[in-house]
Amino acid sequence: MSTTTCTTLDYSLNLPAAPTVGVVVLQTDEVLEDELRYWLHPNTRVLHTRIPNDTTVNADTLGAMENALPASLQLLPRKAPLAAVAYGCTSGTTVIGEARVESLVHECFPGVAVTNPLTALKANLKHLNVKKLALLTPYEPHVSQAIYNHLSEQGYEIVSFGSFNEPLDTNVCRIDEASLKQAIQTLHQQAPCDAVFASCTNLRTMSWLDDFTTDLGTPVLSSNSAMSWHINQLVSN
């Protein structure tokens, strides 16, 4: 057999010009990745990792992600020039705590900007000068109440509050557009509010949220729209 000649070729290295974001996506989440791509600046590079989570959403299963988060973060490329890292779970952040999520991210990626839907929501609400908020969740009562309590403690007046009381995350991502719009409309009509927030990254909102905001005449935010907005702010600074 003859020897094959392989020529050694020269090459150069460079870094991508576009800002790069690492995103931790729940194993049960079927929505977040597409919706981030929809709302993020077009030149943003997004690198995903998954985190195991239970299909049933409650305080115990959400809290369990605290121990799983480091291993998921370590699956992101360690040499990637990350401008920000996002943990994609509103209720999980509420249970684990924003400071703890940020600390775990910084153990893997020191100094990188950190966000999550809860932190992003509050930054967005501040930007919009929202004081009175209508809150929609898909969760079982204890998880919904935890988010209500957190936002209330942060100084927001929750003027209307409703939930689908759905414990299974696999069902949350299948709640249809008509149900979401009707729920938001119902809460919006209960009391004057400065904005409506639909919590959970597994709710499908990108195909109608912006137009519905215009029709309603009041800002409507979802976990994914808020986190996308915050990532855009972080990577442009």
Rounded CA gap, 159 and 188, in Å?
9
Rounded CA gap, 146 and 152, in Å?
10
Q: Give the amino acid at 143.
A: V
Backbone φ and ψ of 167, nearest 5°:
-80, -15
Rounded CA gap, 214 and 199, in Å?
19
Q: Residue 1: what pLDDT?
A: 67
* Residues of the chain by 3-state class (helix, strand, coil), percent to 5: 45, 20, 35
Alpha-carbon distances of 180 from 33, 177, 185, 199, rounded to whole Å = 20, 5, 9, 11
Q: Residue 89: what pLDDT?
A: 98
Q: What is the pLDDT along the chain (237 residues), one digit of tens a residue?
A: 678 899 999 999 998 888 999 999 999 999 999 999 999 999 999 999 999 999 999 999 999 999 999 999 999 999 999 999 999 999 999 999 999 999 999 999 999 999 999 999 999 999 999 999 999 999 999 999 999 999 999 999 999 999 999 999 999 999 999 999 999 999 999 999 999 999 999 999 999 999 999 999 999 999 999 999 999 999 997
Domains, the chain, in order of start with CATH, read 20-116+228-236 (3.40.50.12500), 119-222 (3.40.50.1860)
CA 221 to chain CA centroid, nearest Å: 11
For the chain, the distance separating the N- and C-terminal CA atoms, rounded to the nearest angstrom, is: 59
On whether the CB atoms of residues 193 and 159 are closer than 8 A, the answer is yes
Q: What is the pTM of this model?
A: 0.95
Q: Residue 2: what pLDDT?
A: 75
Q: Residue 182: what pLDDT?
A: 98
Strands (E) located in 31-156: 45-51, 82-87, 113-115, 132-137
